[in-house]
Chain A
Amino acid sequence: MSPFGANKPEAIEDIGKDYVRGFLNTSYEDSKYNGVALSVNLTGFNPKVVPGLPMLLLSEDGDHVIGDLGGVRFTFTAEGASTTSLMISRAHPYNAPTSEVPMMLWYEQTMYHQENIGSYIYPKILGRYFEGELASLGEGDEEVQEDMSILKHIYYAEDLDKEAVIAAKRSRKAVQMAVDALFEIWKAAAAGTANVTPEWLGKYYGRRGWIGRKHLFEDFYGVTEHSSDWFVIGGGYTMATNSCTTVSEEGAEGGEVEVAEGEPASENGIPALGELIPRSAELRGCFTKEIQDIMVPPALRAAAGILVPGAPTRDDRALIERMSAAVNIEGFRQAEATQEAEE
């Protein structure tokens, strides 16, 4: 119960009748399936799922389940085995009746109603879908789908015209209709009568645009001066000096500005509390160099033990490059080929 809960009429009046009505009705409707949970172990790796959002579990016997994805757990091993486990809470049949009361009292309908949530809310949370291979992507709009929820499949119901589709999306049976349509697609795929296979659906249907190492370190952290894995040369800060490196307006080539402990803000020379790094400053690097200096040798030894049988015989730099190549599969294959050729 919220700290705003109150049991006195006058308190409810103070807080706001609409608020209390909305809060209590939504809490009640939301808790109808409390305690009904499903745990599912997937047969393969599935990086698409996002906790906190509704989840659809299609069932071969037509007894489909919808719930909230409470949590997901991934395991990986160096041998290449991986598992994905899901915990679905508030599980209920996909055709269970739902109350409209919470939507009327608590949620902004233009944002959260079922006909809008797929095109207004989900894109913000999930980014874009890439339901295909990169080679097939064009520019602009082709990357974006209008509706990122399963209600997209109502559009494809052949016996519905445009107005009927809109009405269907607003109907209380919209989710049920969409699930049925999607299940038909899967059944056709499994029967071999569709232009997609079940495996294709499993991999590309609702695929999110996840990010890789390059995107994280180069594009997000802005570590630009690095060669594959030796990127920390380009920046970083030290906790010993409490300083960080910022990029000047001219960019990396235009020189760097060292921001120390901030300008003394008071007359007695004591450094100011609060914001010391200008908001406009673009920080670069996110690691502590002292720790890195300590960690590089054992990392090399660990890599040598795994990737290079026997004692390491190469210098450190070569080992780093080999570790980097192991991450970059193409590079790894080339390194293997080169090594074989040398031998």
Chain B
Amino acid sequence: MQTRTQVATSKLVPYAYIEGVLYPVLQATASFSAGGITASIIHAVIPYDPDLWPPYWAIDEADKPVYNWRNEEVEPVSGQTHDNGLEYRFNVSLHGVQENTMIHLFVVDVTTGEDYFVGEGKVKVVRKNRSMAGSTIELVAEGAMRDLVELHTYLTDYARSTGTTTEWNDMLGTASVSSIVSSFNSDSLATAFTNLLDRAGLNTDFHHHLHWRMRRLRQRLHALDNPKAMGSFNASRMKSVLEDAMGKVKGDAPISTAVLQAMNAFMYQCINVPFPSFINARIVAETTPSGPLSKSDIEVCRTEIVENAADIGLNDEDMAKLQMNEVWFTPKFYRAPPPRCNVIFPHQYDGYQHLRLQGNAHTRHRPRHRRGPPYRRHRIERPDSAGRGEGRPGGQQVLQLARRALPWHPYVAVRGE
């Protein structure tokens, strides 16, 4: 560990790129979580501009005057055709921020010059706020997992409404449950997860396909393997269980739906990583002798970290592209030693609030004689006090129970000496 005594205090200013256009940000909030299928959420408050907000779509028929965003009449495109020979039915003028508009949130530390990529999202909500200080626009965007949720919903609806058949599977992001189970069996869990999701993302309509490719979702979604859980599962049974879980669409199931169901079966979680990093890049120290980390030159580097691409669900050819750790599918980590990035030192916080929620504690570790809400389960009676009700054990018995159930508890440790 190196010696450093002076550390500059951070002063961070947010800014955003909205569809690639730099915007000042008055206030930003970014939330990242782990667990089920949830996306990271970005709130950004930006200055109000009456020419841009609120957003709207102007849909004009081809044979009527068409107006651009400045309300100027422009030439209609009547008679123009798509490549497939079909005529345009109408023109759509895109006005301002709308659904699927991309926002990239950054913060810059003005004391060190370090800038951080906080996260990326697709705008889902646009609000105009009016206060004494003036008007602002609040954007709410959702991160990369949103694409998976959309895909999941889209494919499920599609499969249910059309009753897709096997011959269309390759084109519609669906597959028979048998083939999905085969993928899980023949590949590792990680490879099956990512390959199946990639297949689902690409084998859809052109819009989804394009987004999947343009946003480089293959390079953002990764999975870890857990061979033991997979190996002990009876594969032939998995098919029928998956079918049951997916209900009516079991015949030709949306791949994404099957993958998400399988996640539950193997106790996987989804992790949204804030301030993401590249996992197969190295800093070119020769060309960047000093300065902020974010300004350094980097190069793709296949290090020992990702020596085996299949470990994280990738193919060898994927390693030629930068892989970002934005979203991970991993097993839930049971009592693992924390990584060093997840250590909070005492001087980094003022205090904390300890919550014990009712209803979730396990009964096996609660002394049987105690009644009342589970949050009181750690409260041990004093040894010299008698039970309050007839037939209840006394304090010594409680302490003996507590020694077995809660040997780490400080009160038990003290009283037990």
- Which residues does chain A contribute within 8 Å of B30, judged by CB atoms? 73-74
The answer for the CA separation of A133 and B113 in the assembled complex, in Å, is 13
Contact A296 B21 (CB under 8 A): yes
Within 8 A of A (CB), among B334-367: 334-350, 352-362, 365
Determine whether B19 belongs to the interface, using a CB cutoff of 8 Å to chain A: yes
**Residue A312, interface by CB 8 Å:** no
User: Which of the listed residues B292, B312, B338 has the most CB atoms from chain A within 10 Å of its own CB?
Assistant: B338
B117 & A97 in contact (Cβ 8 Å cutoff): no
Partner of A77, one of B26, B228, B325: B26
Q: Which residues from B are CB-within-8-Å of A298?
A: 49, 51-52
Q: Does A292 contact B (CB under 8 A)?
A: yes
Residues of A within 8 A of B233 (CB): 15-16, 19
Stretch at the interface among A24-32, A158-166, A248-256: A24-32
Contact call B2/A237, Cβ cutoff below 8 A? no
Give the residue of B33, B115, B269, B339 whose beta carbon is less than 8 angstroms from that of A122. B339
Contact B339 A26 (CB under 8 A): no
Can you report 26 A-B residue pairs in the complex whose CB atoms are below 8 A from each other? A2-B267, A43-B350, A51-B272, A52-B328, A59-B346, A73-B30, A97-B407, A106-B331, A123-B305, A127-B325, A150-B340, A186-B346, A202-B345, A209-B278, A215-B298, A270-B84, A283-B213, A287-B102, A288-B19, A288-B94, A291-B101, A294-B95, A295-B96, A302-B24, A306-B47, A329-B108
A257 at the interface (CB under 8 A from B): no
Q: Determine the residue in chain B with the shortest Cβ distance to A169.
A: B337
B241 touches A56 (CB 8 A): no
Interface: B12 (CB within 8 A):
yes
Q: Are B333 and A53 in contact (CB under 8 A)?
A: yes
Contact yes or no, A144 B305, CB < 8 A = yes
| Segment with Cβ contacts to A, from B175-183, B279-287, B391-399 | B279-287
Beyond the given pairs A49-B344, A286-B215, 7 more chain A to chain B contacts, judged by CB atoms under 8 angstroms and listed by A's residue number, are: A18-B232, A42-B348, A49-B341, A54-B336, A55-B342, A60-B346, A269-B84
Residues A295 and B52 in contact, CB atoms below 8 Å apart:
yes
A260–B81 Cα distance when bound, in Å, is 14
Q: Does B259 sit at the interface, judged by CB under 8 A? A: no
Could you mark each residue 291-314 of chain B with 1 if its beta carbon is under 8 Å from any beta carbon of chain A, else 0? Answer: 111111010000111100001100
A307 at the interface (CB under 8 A from B): yes
**Per-residue interface assignment for chain B, residues 400 to 417, with 1 indicating a CB less than 8 Å from any chain A CB and 0 otherwise:** 000000011010000000
CB distance from A310 to the nearest CB of B (A): 15
List 5 A-B pairs, minimum CB-CB distance, nearest first: A212-B294, A52-B34, A206-B340, A35-B360, A52-B271
A103-B261 contact, Cβ under 8 Å, with A58-B345, A298-B52:
no
Given contacts A35-B361, A215-B294, contact A207 B341 (CB under 8 A): yes
With contacts A35-B361, A124-B305, A125-B328 taken as known, whether A54 is within 8 angstroms of B356 at the C-beta atoms is no
Q: A39-B355, A323-B22 are in contact. Are A209 and B277 (CB under 8 A)?
A: yes
Interface contact B13-A76, CB-CB below 8 Å: yes
Q: Does B264 contact A (CB under 8 A)?
A: yes
- Please give the number of chain B residues whose Cβ is less than 8 angstroms from any Cβ of chain A in the complex: 169
Closest chain A CB from B404 CB (angstroms): 11
Q: Are A149 and B244 in contact (CB under 8 A)?
A: no
Distance to closest chain B CB from A35 (angstroms): 3
Report if A292-B24 is in contact (Cβ < 8 Å); known contacts: A56-B343, A107-B226, A149-B336: no
Decide if B241 touches A106 in the complex (CB within 8 Å). no
Shortest distance between the CB of A88 and any CB in chain B (Å): 8
Whether A210 and B342, one on each chain, are in contact in the complex, defined by CB atoms closer than 8 angstroms, is no
Partner among A47, A269, A294 whose Cβ is within 8 Å of the Cβ of B85: A269
Pairwise interchain contact A299-B84, C-beta atoms closer than 8 A? no
- Residues A108 and B32 in contact, CB atoms below 8 Å apart: no
Is A309's CB within 8 Å of the partner chain B? no
Contacts of A22 in B (CB 8 A): 228-229, 232
Decide yes or no whether B130 CB sits under 8 A from chain A: no
- Asked if B210 CB lies within 8 Å of chain A CBs, one says yes
Is A108 a contact of B14 with CB atoms below 8 Å? no
B104 within 8 A of A: yes
Cα–Cα, bound, A229→B18 (Å): 12
CB nearest to A109 among chain B residues? B228
Let me know if B146 is at the binding interface, CB within 8 A: no
Q: Which of A277-296 contact B (CB under 8 A)?
A: 277, 283, 285-288, 290-296
Whether a CB of chain A sits under 8 angstroms from the CB of B290 is yes
